[in-house]
Structure 1
Amino acid sequence: MHRKGSRGVLVGLAWGLVACGDPNVVAEVGKRDVSKGDVSAYLEARSAREAPSATQALDALVDRSLLADEARRAGLDKDPKVQARLRTAEREVLAQALLDQRLSAATDDAKLRERHAASREKLVRREVHVRQIMVLVPPGADEVTRNRLQSRINGLYARLVSGESFEVVAREGSEDTASASRGGDLGPVLEGQVDEGFFTEAARLAKGERSRPFATAFGFHVLEAVEPVRTVEPTFEQVRGRLEAEVRRDAQEALMKELRERIPVKRHPERLEARAQGPRS
């Protein structure tokens, strides 16, 4: 009796395991499974604005799986155009996966700090701290419009010459709304963060000195220096994004060079021409 009872328990456990199935499978659609990984990939591909729940993602994946299953039944997976699109999707996913793997190793915190230490002299930049009064010029403005806006900035500059406070004129007349509320104060600005012509004009000013009206691609400006131009060395945190972009670019170029040398490639551009021309009658 004891043996039979034990055997019954084992059989029951076995059937229970079969019934439970793979814990990573969250749906079965026909003969194909939808996994937790599929749901995670779907959610990662959605924007933060959409932000579906896991249940909504599963519902959407089931619907797409039903459509895909029916497409296979209809033989669409054998269509050359569909196969080309499938190969494209596979190629892009695998290529990006390799880049993510290789480039993430090249951009860890320690390596970025090493690059920062090795390139500190190159990272040194000038910094200005100015107030501005700005009159915006719409893209593609004609000469009549530009002349009218030039007259406006000249009028604001004339108020400064007559003795009005820069902060007051900026608050009342500047069209750069972000800085106008602060009396035109832009705060410290590093070289490369703003239009080159704008920075050049700002860097010429001594503390308290004002520029004459000048133009950039964005409009007309008048500046007043809060502090004299100075040379600064950006902190690691300030240039981390720039360093990471440079490291990723260098690592990708090195990877592509390695792959081109190791993997044979044959191109047949003449066949593209033949395809573009199509069959001749």
Structure 2
Amino acid sequence: MQLDNRLSRQSGGKMRTLLTLIAGSLLAASAWGDPTAESAVTDRNTLARVGDRIITFPQLNTQLNSTAVVGVSIPALGTPDRRRVMLTLLDRAISLNLLYLDAVDKAVPEDPGYRQELKAYTDGMLAGLYRRSYLKKDIAISEDEITDYMKRHFAKGTVLDDKMRPLIEAKVKKAKYVKHKKGMRAHLRDGMDVKIAIRHLEIEDDALRSDQQVIAEYAGIKMTWGETKKYLTTLNNSIDLDRRLQTLDQLIDNRLLARRGREAGLDRDPGYQSALAEFSVTRLVNLHRSQLIAGMEPTAQEIDDYFAQHQQRITFNEHRKLQMVVFQDEQTALDIVEKMEKGELTIYQAARDHSIDPRAKQTLGDFGWVEEGTGFPALDELVFALEIGELGGPVETPAGWHIVVVSEQKASKYTAIEDPDTRHKTRKLLLKERLNDYLAELRTQDYPVVVYEENLNRLLQEEAQWIAAKSREMKQHPERARIILEEMKALVE
């Protein structure tokens, strides 16, 4: 069943959070979108299909019960709010998959900057894997090494007991690890001629140096200024040539480590492949989004016009936090005010003992925050004329006679387009709206989106029934509580 209205495109106010905070977790093959096979259409866990990608209930459930989804509350299993939040996440996943498919079709993966970032990421990952593999090998501890350590650090005749042995082994292992680490560069560069062109790294020549300038060469591979200047022109590396040379040596080592990692087949490691898939899609979506936004930049007049049309939504009106007591008649209100002014009664006591608000005994008159212009006119006028801590009233409304005290205030903002903060916010909202419109067009014209609401309803109902059954089981068999909780935990992992 396709939901055209209930799963609308993402609201403008949430798009930035959506793309910057959870893009990676939503689009990796192990997360929110997978290339689909024909049989997946009828899979009981399938919630949506976006072009050739599918979104499943387990994918959303995993994300919902993780801390990766920022800005979304996590309702308990089996609660009514869970369906609402799942629909929100499903709509987010659809939008992100649309951006991904559009990026692929527009050849964004061929972008030189993207390919360079991907290369740097893969090199870093493989270098780290190989470094850990190299440093872990040959760390076995022999009896001779333990005996030698004892002779060098303990008095003659000291007995090596079971309590001391693990400590000595740890010391010997750490010493071997440090030695191994120091020898890693020699291991990597064994039989290799590494040349660094120091004359092309002088700091005072940075502004004149061509990106094609070769600054180092190893194993027949040339490193240019353009591919390394991001790392060689940091603050410290821009004031100290020795630091710059150290950083360049580290970059060379990193590449050599990555090459050794590929030779060792570490690029087939499942953890590496999963991380690479997530990173590549995350960067692709974010790059595509940035390029789209750059092409949607509004003019100054368009920002002015947008503010004029949406001022009520953009402006933050003044808010005040109230203590309030409501009375049946004016005379009672006046009597209480008189006692309060004499110090015979606090507003908390007045609310508890005299308010006609049925919640007053619990709230003690704490009414919370109110926005200017949203209440009864007479009460609104009183509230926003008071000073902080001043007692006001009584004033009549259809609900009764009110006395109030303002305890806190939040000033209005974003009220004039001439204000830089207001202009900045207006521009962001306009750009988000344009991106939303673009996504809506992708959804209706370029990539078919089908949502299987019946699967979502059925799966949520089954989840709620399962939780209810487990809760009953836990009450009937409290001795099995830990096992049942583990089963419930496994459901969301």
TM interval, shorter chain, is: 0.3 to 0.5
Higher relative contact order (CA 8 A, sep 6+): 2
Q: TM-score by structure 1 length?
A: 0.43
Q: TM-score by structure 2 length?
A: 0.27
